[in-house]
Amino acid sequence: MRYYVISDVHGYYTQMKSALEKAGFFSDTTPHKLIMLGDLFDRGHEAKQLQQFILEQMEQDKIILIRGNHEDLFVELVTTDAGMPYSYHKSNGTYDTALQLTGFDPVMASIRHYDFADAAKDTPFYKEIIPAMLDYFETEHYVFTHGWIPSIPNRDKSYSYISSWREADREQWNQARWFNGMDAVQTADENKTIVCGHWHTSYGHSKYEHKGTEFGEDADFSPYYGPGIIAIDACTAFSGKVNCLVIED
């Protein structure tokens, strides 16, 4: 099977579509699927277009969805917090995504926050897309996930590998979606290559390859390849790009 893999689109539908077109996704006549490694929304302003695109791919059984930490933030906003955003819901873009998808303006969303939350829970994103998302997807040679596989984070910002990560519980997966895979892989002992997003690839290029800075003019947002890992988050809000891998497995 041929897989087209993207991550952390964050509501930038135009940039995502451009990356897929360049990679040949739409013109491919062989069996293929799209893998999206989470964080679908919460930065750009094309949430409705992206939601519709994902629904169309789901109807055709051409997509595999991995859950990211921003999907967790959306669920938290519209359930636990009943549509009343904390500062991090606003700074992370989650609140704006809910406004885009529901059509509420900020004033009415604040006044009628329970109605706002109910409207958000009635969106296809909440009702269909999030329930279809997996913690990880596995092929013969690859594991696809968002931040990283469940591990033990240490105080020195290193990670201890857990061989039984496939049996991890919900809390462990919720935590793993925030991990920096480029750091975590340094002490991992997994026999498959892990393809992940969440953390901007310029971090790995700068820290481990000594190529450029993280956000300067010399920053490299191309996919980061290291032993046991391929990281692909291009930090689209900053770089204007979406990375797309094409993997046969």
Domain spans of the chain?
A: 2-43+53-68+135-248, 69-132
pLDDT for 95-118, tens place per residue? 999 999 999 999 999 999 999 999
**What does the DSSP assignment read for the chain?**
-EEEEE---TT-HHHHHHHHHHHTTTT--SSEEEEE-S--SSSSS-HHHHHHHHHHHHHTT-EEEB--HHHHHHHHHHTTTTT---HHHHHTTHHHHHHHHH---HHHHHHTHHHHHHHHHTSHIIIIIGGG-BSEEE-SSEEEESS-SS-EE-TTS-EE--TTGGG--HHHHHHHTTS-HHHHGGG---SSEEEE-SS-HHHHHHHHS--S-SSSTT---SPEEETTEEE----HHHH-----EEEE-
Which whole number is the average pLDDT over 200-205? 98
pLDDT for 25-42, tens place per residue? 999 999 999 999 999 999
Whether pTM exceeds 0.85: yes
Residue 233 confidence (pLDDT) above 90: yes
Q: How high does pLDDT run on average in the chain?
A: 96
Residue 82 confidence (pLDDT) above 90: no
The pLDDT of residue 40: 98
Residue 83 confidence (pLDDT) above 90: no
Q: What CATH number was assigned to the domain covering residues 2-43+53-68+135-248?
A: 3.60.21.10
